[in-house]
Structure 1
């Protein structure tokens, strides 16, 4: 079956929302006095341009994923290392989401639980679901967004209208908006727009993606970045915000819900984002798994042989994540910031490579 174009928007929305629990808010808030706000504007323009160029060129290869595109245009000695590098990047993207959420779970929900037990539970869900076919994953993503998006919107509105929200702190922060952009902040903020990159594999179920109203993606990305940046400042102040690692979860923990079964907003926020984080990690590892599988010899249509390969690849993913859990928070943050930069340049390289592949194929046909 052919996937409908709305699933592209689901991939974009998932990635833009999940940026609240990764390293994007921390990077933006670290440079709040030194160009974070102007960097957000640059990131919106850059991210929208990347989306437009990527969808423009990926439409030239209907029903094909990145391995098929590279195989049809590039020599194997060049295509294979590139695909393996991108597969590793997708693995790390999913692993960092899981590790961040293990830390969040221990800090805010269940501090007495052993971190390995939490991570093993997450890994079991992610590894099992990463084997699902792409179209079913897109269906599941749509349902997940239908459940979590209203909860996230409710939390955001509840935070902004709360009497404890200081608009004076937000207005004071805006006085620093004319500072020149910062490269670290741009690389972090553009992650909000990176959901399109999963089309490297999911394009296999799209045959003629019709992307309309790109300005909606720009507007949504801008709003997410502004909310991500300003709401914690409104709660914790322009200086106090630097004391918190996961600023949005600290913010949610300070909101109370009157006349409801659950008094603490934190639990609703945690449920929404734990669900979204797991689905995001499933999507990332599915793409990484498929990229690794594409570099192995064909199984000749034998399901058991493919299953064994998937088990080995996902087992390596899980083992690598358990090893990364030994890193302290400082080193994990350094790795996350490094990967934000690598991801940004990797997206630019991928877009250029796809245009190059298209040019090579056109020249052969001519």
Structure 2
């Protein structure tokens, strides 16, 4: 079952390509983005490997159960609601709004934005309201369908004849520029797949270990480099900042000769539609599990049939997505995304600190018993 953690690391790295991180890094490409990526790779590796190592010591336990074991109930509820309502829920809302608008503009710009958001929200509400085990099964199937072709397109981009490696080397030369906190916080998002252990660790059985865990930071470094350097190689060091939908235009710069596929853009967007729905499904499902544990100490990974409260919470998340769409604009969405990235980064650091405390408490109890 430990493979599901690697799936989360993989798809979070890929979804990062089409979301808010590329814009922030490109914006700071001459002002510390490169050094920020290097520092973020170290921090992200420590956070991911450290957290995975901590969870190995508690097979079958989710983060809420561990909080119940070592914290008073009121603190457990506060932590669960904070993580669910301020970290996981907004992540899904931001992504589903941003990507539904991207897809609408490139596929059918005359469609009402609410219609496209409604279609994507319906899929996300149904999927996220399933049990934890079912969500992981859906995740695995979708990842196997989407990943091979996406990796192929990324490799094709790296070896594309239009890739200007002089531009890449020029920007990489700014590695001595000190990074901003925003660059570091944004870059660490690529490594954030490990945070799903909050609930997914319930699927692990006694004696499990994360094999080949060294691949986790390698995934993050690869997708971080691809996210930043490929658009610069295609569009140049200056022009790259002129694009609003950066990676959509980068994909549209490539063509293939594989049968009916000519323009990479359309296949690229279809594949990322699947990945964005995966992201929303997982974030909202985690929100549901955290809220349910706050209400009734719910810990089951499988339910047949699924409890109605799952659907009600998922529907509430869907309605909040429409509220967000009507209240936000591109500028507000960018500001909110930056605030969320900083909050997520700080939360992940606190998350590792809490897990280390749990490990220390466990050792202390064993030593005295």
Q: Same fold (TM over 0.5)?
A: yes
Identify which range, 101-110 or 158-167, moves more after superposition: 158-167
Name the CA distance, whole Å, in 1 between partners of 2:344 and 2:279: 16
Q: Is the 8 A contact 2:129 2:311 kept in 1?
A: no
Name the CA distance, whole Å, in 1 between partners of 2:144 and 2:211: 21
Name the CA distance, whole Å, in 1 between partners of 2:162 and 2:365: 64
Q: Is the 8 A contact 1:21 1:100 kept in 2?
A: no
Instruction: Check if 1:321 corresponds to 2:294.
Output: no
Residues 16 and 298 of structure 1: CA distance in aligned 2, closer, same or farther (over 3 Å): closer
SS in 1 for 2:175: coil
How far off is 1:260 after superposition?
A: 2.6
Instruction: Check if 1:348 corresponds to 2:349.
Output: yes
Map of 1:267 onto structure 2 = 266
How far off is 1:362 after superposition?
A: 4.5
Q: Is the 8 A contact 1:73 1:361 kept in 2?
A: no
CA RMSD of aligned residues (A): 2.1
Name the CA distance, whole Å, in 1 between partners of 2:159 and 2:363: 55
Name which of 133, 136, 161 aligns with 1:135: 133
Name which of 6, 10, 15 aligns with 1:9: 6
Residues 238 and 291 of structure 1: CA distance in aligned 2, closer, same or farther (over 3 Å): same
Name the CA distance, whole Å, in 1 between partners of 2:295 and 2:217: 38
Give structure 1 regions of 4+ aligned residues with deviation exceeding 6 angstroms. Answer: 303-306
Map of 1:336 onto structure 2 = 337
Residues 163 and 25 of structure 1: CA distance in aligned 2, closer, same or farther (over 3 Å): same
How far off is 1:221 after superposition?
A: 1.3
Residues 361 and 160 of structure 1: CA distance in aligned 2, closer, same or farther (over 3 Å): closer
TM-score (norm: length of structure 2): 0.93
Map of 2:279 onto structure 1 = 280
Map of 1:60 onto structure 2 = 57
Name the CA distance, whole Å, in 2 between partners of 1:9 and 1:298: 27
1:157-192 residue CA offsets vs partner (Å, 9 max, x unmatched) = 222333322222112212212212221111011111
Identify which range, 23-32 or 141-150, moves more after superposition: 141-150
Name the CA distance, whole Å, in 1 between partners of 2:187 and 2:224: 7
Q: Is the 8 A contact 2:131 2:306 kept in 1?
A: no
Instruction: Check if 1:42 corresponds to 2:42.
Output: no
Name the CA distance, whole Å, in 2 between partners of 1:14 and 1:209: 23
Q: Is the 8 A contact 1:48 1:214 kept in 2?
A: no
Instruction: Check if 1:239 corresponds to 2:238.
Output: yes
TM-score (norm: length of structure 1): 0.93
Name the CA distance, whole Å, in 1 between partners of 2:130 and 2:74: 30
Which blocks of at least 5 consecutive residues in structure 1 are unaligned? none
* Paired positions, count: 362
Q: Write the mapping of 1:219-238 to structure 2, written as runs, cut at 5 A.
A: 219-238=218-237
How far off is 1:135 after superposition?
A: 2.3
1:304-344 residue CA offsets vs partner (Å, 9 max, x unmatched) = 99733222211211111111112001101110111101001
SS in 2 for 1:25: helix
Q: Is the 8 A contact 2:61 2:201 kept in 1?
A: yes
Map of 2:189 onto structure 1 = 191
SS in 1 for 2:50: helix
Name the CA distance, whole Å, in 2 between partners of 1:57 and 1:218: 17
Name which of 202, 216, 226 aligns with 1:204: 202
